[in-house]
C-alpha cells in the first residue's frame, strides 16, 4: 500500500536559466492591458511580484519558500474578496487570474510551472475581450498570442536562440490563419452571448435615463463618447430635423421628471411624404429603448413602439447592435388622444412654481392653444434668456426661479419650463429626451451621434393636430439646432474635448480613427447571424446551422486532404533510397533516431539484436553506398534487391 503513495523516484525536469525571460514576457503581455481597468493596488501588487521575480532571476537567487508564498496568495485573495465582494463574476475572476499569474512567477522551479504560466497566459488573453473588442486590443492580443506561443515553443524546442523561436511562432500563427478564417465565417453565430456571463459582465454605462432633473442632460453632454452611428439609405436630412427620440417623461414632482404610467394603445401615425430608411448601430446602453428618428415607421422585428412612440426592445441592449429603421419627417401623431392620457399630461404638483402658473393662467382664457404656444416661445425669445452649460443651482420652485430670476439654463431647463407653462395653461404637454443632430464623418459617410448631442425638447397635444414637437431651445439658441452645441454655447463653456472649436487640427485625425473603428465594428465585429445567413445565400447555400456544420466539417476535411496531399507529395520527393530504407526498417520493426547514422544503427543492432542486424546488413550497406558513394545511383538496384530479399526471407 505504501508503494502507492511513494514519491516518484524520477526528478522533475528542472527549468533552465534561459527560460524565465520568456515567461516574464508572457506574464507582462497578457496582464498589462488589465492595468487600465483593474484596481490600482492589484496592478502594484502584480508589478512588485514581477520585479521581484526578475531580480531573483537576474542575480541567480533562490525563489521564495512556499511558506512565504501561501500567505501572499491568501492576502491577495482576501483583498480581492474585499474589493469586489465576491470571487465570482467577471472582474473578480480576472483579478484572481492576474494574481495567480504574478505569484506563479515566484514559483518557477520546474518545467511544469512554466507550462502553467503559459496556459494561464493563453487564458488571460481571452479575458481582455471582456473589456474591449477594438482594434488596439485585437492587435495587442495578436502580439501576445505570438509571444505566448513562442514561449511554448521555446520550452519544448530546447536551447534555441530568440529569433528562430519567434519566427517559428509567427509561422505557426500564419498556418493557423486559414482555420481561423473558416471558423470566423462559418462557426454558427448565436445572437447574444454564447454562454451565460456573470451579472456584472456589463457595467454601468453613460446615456439617457428614465428621469430628468435640472442639470442631468448638461452633465451627459460633457461626454463625447459615441451613442450611435447612422447610415441613411438616401441623402442625410437637414440637421434641424434630426430628432432622435428617446424616453418620454410625463410625471413631474416639482423637481424631477419621471417616465410615469404609459396609457393608450398603439400610436397612430399619419405620415406625409416618403419614409426615410436608415441603419443604426447603437452602442450598448443597458436600456430597452432605441433612439429612433422622429417619427419612427418601420421597426426592427424584435422592437415595438409604445403609446408615447418610444421604440422599445424586448430586453435591455447589452451589446452593440445594428437595427434597420425608417422614419417620417412630416407626420401627425395621435390626432385622437384618450381623456386619461390628456389628464396625465396636464398634471402638475400642487403648490409649486406659483408665478409660472399665474403667467399661464393669464394666457389660458384669452388665447387659442396655438397662440399660447407661440406666446411662450416669444417669451423665451424676447426676454433675456441665456443658453449655458453652467446654470446656477435652482431651489424648490425651480421653474419659477429659472423663468423669472436666473434665466440661465440648458435644454432641459427650457423643455421643463415650457411643459410646465403649457400644462398650467391647459395644454397637454410632456418632455421628450433623446439626441439632436449629429455629425457626418467625412471618411465613411456615417452620421455620428455622441452623448454630447443629448437633448430634451417638448411635445404638446393640440386638438386636430395631435402631438406636435416644440423645441424651446431652438427659440433661445437656434444655433444649437442648426449647427450643433459648440456653436450655440458662449466661449469658455466646459465643452467636451472633441467638440471644442480649437481642436480643428485634431478633428480630422480623430474622425479618421473613428471611421476606422467603425469599419472594424461594422465589418468584423458586426458579422452576426444575419450577415452569416446573407453570406450563405450569396454562396447559394441554404441557411441554417446544418449548412454551417456541413461547411465546417467539409472545409476542415478539405484542409486535411490538402495537407495530406502536400505531405504525400513531399514524400514522393524524398529520394527512393530513403523510402526503401524506411520500408525495410518498418518491416523489421527497427526504430532509428533522426541523428543516428546508418553505420551507428548497424553497430547498435549488432549489440542488441544480432539476428536482425544480420538481416538488415545488406540493406544498410547498399543504402550507404547509394547515398554517399561517388557512383551512388548504380547501387540502387542492389538496395532494391536487398529490401525485396528481406520480404522473402521473412519468418512465417
**391, three cell numbers:** 446654470
Smallest gap from Cβ 435 to another protein, in A, equals 59
Could you give the count of Cα atoms lying within 13 Å of 303 in the half-sphere of its Cβ?
25
Q: Return the number of the residue (440 or 645) whose C-beta is nearest another protein.
A: 645
Name the minimum Å distance from CB 623 to another protein: 10
- Return the CA Rg of the chain: 37
Which residues, in sequence order, are bridge partners of residue 277? 326
In this structure, the strands spanning 386-387 and 408-409 are parallel
Report the candidate in 336, 348, 344, 332 with the shortest Cα–Cα distance to residue 263.
344
Nearest-angstrom CA–CA distance, 28 and 51 = 11
397 carries an active-site annotation = no
Output the CA–CA distances (angstroms, integers) from residue 77 to 89, 173, 555, in the order listed: 14, 35, 45
Footprint of another protein (CB under 8 A)? 18, 158-162, 164, 575, 593-600, 602-603, 606, 617, 620-621, 624-625, 627-630, 632
Closest listed residue to residue 233, CA positions, set 484, 445, 529, 450: 445
Please say which residue, 333 or 623, places its beta carbon nearer to another protein: 623
- For 13, other C-beta atoms within 10 Å of its C-beta total 10
Alpha carbons 368 and 68: distance in angstroms, whole number: 84
CB of 167 to another protein, least distance (A): 10
| Upper half-sphere CA count for residue 29 (Cβ side, 13 Å) | 28
Minimum distance, C-beta of residue 17 to another protein, in the bound complex (Å): 8
Cβ neighbours for 220, distance < 8 A, ≥ 6 positions apart: 206, 207, 208, 451, 452, 454
Inter-CA distances, 320 with 280, 298, 434, 494, Å = 10, 20, 18, 29
Name the residue nearer to another protein (CB basis): 360 or 613: 613
Nearer to another protein, 128 or 154 (CB): 154
Q: Which is nearer to another protein, 20 or 466 (CB)?
A: 20
Q: Is 290 exposed, middle or buried (0-12, 13-18, 19+ CB in 10 A)?
A: buried
Examine the residue annotation and report whether 471 is marked as an active-site residue of this protein. Answer: yes
Q: From CA 567, how far away is CA 628, in angstroms rounded?
A: 26
DSSP 8-state code for residue 319: S
- Which of these is catalytic: 34, 413, 471, 635? 471
> Cα-flanking dihedrals φ and ψ of residue 51, to 5°?
-65, -40
Say which of 34, 285, 455, 635 is annotated catalytic: 455
If one counts every other C-beta atom within 10 angstroms of the C-beta of residue 367, the result is 14
Residues in the chain: 652
Q: How far apart are CB 603 and another protein at their closest, in Å?
A: 7
C-beta of 154: minimal distance to another protein in Å?
9
- Tell me how far, at minimum, the Cβ of 634 lies from another protein, in Å: 13
Closer by beta carbon to another protein, 47 or else 632 = 632
How is residue 286 written as a grid cell? 443597458
Between the CA of residue 38 and those of 98, 121, 125, what are the distances in Å? 10, 17, 15
Half-sphere exposure of 201 (CA within 13 A, CB side): 14
233 is catalytic: no
Q: 3-state DSSP call for residue 68?
A: helix
CB of 604 to another protein, least distance (A): 11
Q: Nearest distance from residue 130's CB to another protein, in Å?
A: 37
Spot the catalytic one: 379, 411, 413, 444. Answer: 411
Determine the Cα–Cα distance for residues 266 and 256; give it in Å rounded to an integer: 27
188 vs 618, beta carbon nearer another protein: 618
In contact, 143 and 173? CB cutoff 8 Å: no
Sequence-distant contacts of 376-382: CB under 8 A, at least 24 apart: 376/418, 376/421, 376/422, 376/425, 376/472, 377/470, 377/472, 377/475, 378/475, 380/414, 380/418, 380/472, 380/475, 380/476, 381/475, 381/476
Shortest Å distance, C-beta 577 to another protein: 9
Catalytic residues: 411, 455, 471
Amino acid at each position: 500500500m505504501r508503494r502507492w503513495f511513494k514519491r516518484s523516484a524520477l526528478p522533475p525536469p528542472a527549468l533552465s536559466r534561459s527560460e524565465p525571460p520568456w515567461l516574464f514576457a508572457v506574464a507582462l503581455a497578457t496582464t498589462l492591458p488589465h492595468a487600465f481597468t483593474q484596481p490600482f493596488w492589484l496592478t502594484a501588487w502584480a508589478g512588485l511580484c514581477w520585479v521581484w521575480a526578475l531580480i531573483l532571476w537576474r542575480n541567480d537567487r533562490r525563489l521564495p519558500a512556499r511558506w512565504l508564498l501561501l500567505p501572499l496568495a491568501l492576502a491577495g485573495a482576501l483583498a480581492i474578496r474585499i474589493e469586489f465582494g465576491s470571487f465570482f463574476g467577471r472582474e473578480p475572476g480576472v483579478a484572481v487570474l492576474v494574481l495567480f499569474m504574478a505569484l506563479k512567477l515566484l514559483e518557477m522551479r520546474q518545467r511544469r510551472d512554466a507550462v502553467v504560466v503559459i496556459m494561464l497566459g493563453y487564458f488571460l488573453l481571452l479575458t481582455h475581450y471582456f473589456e474591449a473588442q477594438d482594434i488596439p486590443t485585437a492587435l495587442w492580443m495578436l502580439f501576445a498570442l505570438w509571444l505566448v506561443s513562442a514561449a511554448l515553443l521555446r520550452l519544448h524546442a530546447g536551447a534555441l536562440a530568440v529569433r528562430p523561436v519567434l519566427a517559428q511562432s509567427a509561422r505557426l500563427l500564419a498556418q493557423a490563419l486559414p482555420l481561423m478564417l473558416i471558423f470566423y465565417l462559418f462557426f454558427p453565430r448565436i445572437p447574444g452571448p454564447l454562454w451565460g456571463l456573470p451579472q456584472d459582465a456589463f457595467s454601468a454605462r453613460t446615456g439617457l435615463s428614465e428621469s430628468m432633473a435640472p442639470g442631468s442632460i448638461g452633465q451627459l453632454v460633457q461626454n463625447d463618447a459615441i451613442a450611435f452611428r447612422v447610415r441613411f439609405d438616401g441623402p442625410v436630412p437637414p440637421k434641424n430635423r434630426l430628432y432622435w427620440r428617446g424616453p418620454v417623461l410625463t410625471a413631474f414632482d416639482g423637481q424631477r421628471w419621471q417616465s410615469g404610467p404609459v396609457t393608450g394603445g398603439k400610436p397612430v401615425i399619419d405620415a406625409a411624404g416618403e419614409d426615410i430608411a436608415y441603419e443604426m448601430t447603437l452602442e450598448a446602453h443597458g436600456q430597452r429603448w432605441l433612439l429612433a428618428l422622429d417619427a419612427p415607421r418601420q421597426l426592427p422585428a424584435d422592437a415595438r413602439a409604445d403609446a408615447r412612440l418610444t421604440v422599445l426592445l424586448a430586453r435591455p441592449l447589452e451589446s452593440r447592435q445594428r437595427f434597420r429603421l425608417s422614419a417620417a419627417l412630416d407626420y401627425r401623431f395621435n390626432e385622437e388622444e384618450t381623456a386619461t392620457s390628456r389628464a396625465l399630461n396636464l398634471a402638475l404638483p400642487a403648490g409649486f412654481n406659483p408665478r409660472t402658473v399665474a403667467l399661464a393662467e393669464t394666457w389660458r382664457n384669452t388665447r387659442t392653444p396655438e397662440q399660447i404656444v407661440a406666446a411662450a416661445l416669444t417669451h423665451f425669445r424676447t426676454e433675456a434668456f441665456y443658453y449655458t452649460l453652467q446654470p446656477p443651482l435652482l431651489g424648490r420652485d425651480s421653474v419659477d426661479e429659472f423663468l423669472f430670476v436666473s434665466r440661465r439654463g440648458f435644454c432641459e431647463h427650457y423643455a421643463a419650463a415650457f411643459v410646465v407653462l403649457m400644462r398650467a395653461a391647459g395644454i397637454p404637454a410632456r418632455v421628450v429626451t433623446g439626441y439632436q443632430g449629429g455629425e457626418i464623418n467625412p471618411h465613411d459617410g456615417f452620421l455620428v451621434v455622441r452623448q454630447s448631442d443629448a437633448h430634451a425638447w417638448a411635445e404638446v397635444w393640440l386638438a386636430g393636430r395631435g402631438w406636435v414637437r416644440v423645441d424651446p431651445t431652438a427659440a433661445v439658441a437656434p444655433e444649437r439646432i442648426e449647427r450643433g452645441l459648440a456653436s450655440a454655447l458662449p466661449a469658455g463653456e466646459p465643452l467636451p474635448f472633441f467638440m471644442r472649436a480649437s481642436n480643428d487640427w485634431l478633428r480630422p485625425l480623430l474622425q479618421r480613427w473613428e471611421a476606422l473603428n467603425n469599419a472594424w465594428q461594422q465589418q468584423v465585429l458586426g458579422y452576426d447571424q444575419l450577415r452569416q445567413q446573407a453570406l450563405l445565400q450569396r454562396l447559394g447555400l441554404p441557411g441554417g446551422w446544418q449548412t454551417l456544420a456541413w461547411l465546417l466539417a467539409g472545409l476542415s476535411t478539405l484542409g486535411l486532404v490538402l495537407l495530406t496531399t502536400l505531405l504525400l507529395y513531399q514524400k514522393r520527393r524524398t529520394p527512393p533510397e530513403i523510402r526503401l530504407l524506411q520500408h525495410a526498417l518498418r518491416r523489421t520493426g527497427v526504430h532509428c533516431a533522426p541523428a543516428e547514422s546508418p553505420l551507428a544503427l548497424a553497430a547498435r543492432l549488432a549489440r542488441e539484436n544480432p539476428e536482425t542486424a544480420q538481416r538488415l546488413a545488406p540493406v544498410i550497406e547498399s543504402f550507404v553506398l547509394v547515398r554517399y558513394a561517388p557512383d551512388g545511383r548504380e547501387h540502387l538496384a542492389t538496395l532494391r534487391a536487398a529490401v525485396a530479399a528481406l520480404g522473402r526471407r521473412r519468418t512465417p
